[in-house]
Amino acid sequence: MGSSILKFSESLRTKPLTVRPRGYLSLDVSNKKENMPVFLFNDIDNDHDPLCYQYLERTVFPVFVFTNGSNGTGCDCVSGCSDGCFCAMKNGGELAYDENGFLLRGKPVVFECGGFMQNGGDLSQIYPNYTRPSYPELPPLDFAMDVSKMRNVACYMSHSSAPNVLVQFVLYDHNNLMFPHIMLFAMENIPPLRELSLDYGVADDWTGKLAICN
């Protein structure tokens, strides 16, 4: 059963029309904005709404996020952060990821080097007097995201009380805590063709129910 699912999923990825000749609304709804095509498939009804939105491949921040705050800062490490570097200090004295790039544990905010890692420097440099700042568990928000015109596949992820995907705030190209990147991390080994789900975690103030993205 497992091998047949793997073969079927590989066929869907490489030759989708051979496996499912009908039902595809688009063979790449991202219009080549992503490294891999994003198929849009619907064989249930005639809903074509996802085709009406502009596909976003990256976050679009207001200009003042970069002009009013400081840019992201990295460390002096080469080809990856090391224990005791500046980035580790910003993340509570430990590296956020292991040597394979896996998130070790969820945090209120993860600070990454991004494009600010140096090309050289003293790899043994540490910051013994660095005082880790305290950050709120969740920055207070007085705005909402409008996905009525622009969105991507993240808008179609379902809520689940037993999710397999973790939502993590990440900063790497600026230091404005009010506008973090919202990254998705797998919480387990997810087999092919398994639905991705996350825990929305916040109830609507009026109804007391989870606010589902439409």
Each domain of the chain, given as residue ranges in start order, spans 1-52
Using the predicted structure, report yes or no on whether residue 117 has a pLDDT greater than 60.
no
Q: Give the residue-averaged pLDDT of 112-121.
A: 55
Using the predicted structure, report yes or no on whether residue 125 has a pLDDT greater than 50.
no
Q: Give the residue-averaged pLDDT of 73-77.
A: 71
Q: What is the pLDDT of residue 120?
A: 36
How does 92-121 read in b/e, with b if 16+ C-beta sit within 10 Å? eeebbeeeeeebeeebebbbbbbeebeeee
Paired strand residues for 103: 97
Burial class (CB in 10 A: 0-12, 13-18, 19+), 39: middle
Average predicted confidence (pLDDT) for the chain: 79
Q: Longest Cα pair distance anywhere in the chain, in angstroms?
A: 63
Using the predicted structure, report yes or no on whether residue 134 has a pLDDT greater than 80.
no
The Cα 85–Cα 123 span in angstroms is 8
Range from 40-49, 62-71, 87-96 carrying the lowest mean pLDDT: 62-71
Contact call for residues 65 and 176 (beta carbons, < 8 A): yes
Q: Give the residue-averaged pLDDT of 84-113.
A: 86
Using the predicted structure, report yes or no on whether residue 207 has a pLDDT greater than 80.
no
Amino acid of residue 178: M
Retrieve residue 12's tokens: 């869907």
The Cα 191–Cα 213 span in angstroms is 25
Q: Which residues contact 97 (CB under 8 A, 6 or more apart)?
A: 103, 104
Range from 145-154, 179-188, 197-206 carrying the lowest mean pLDDT: 197-206
Q: Using 50, 70 and 90 to split pLDDT, how confident is the model at 172?
A: confident
Q: Using 50, 70 and 90 to split pLDDT, how confident is the model at 72?
A: low
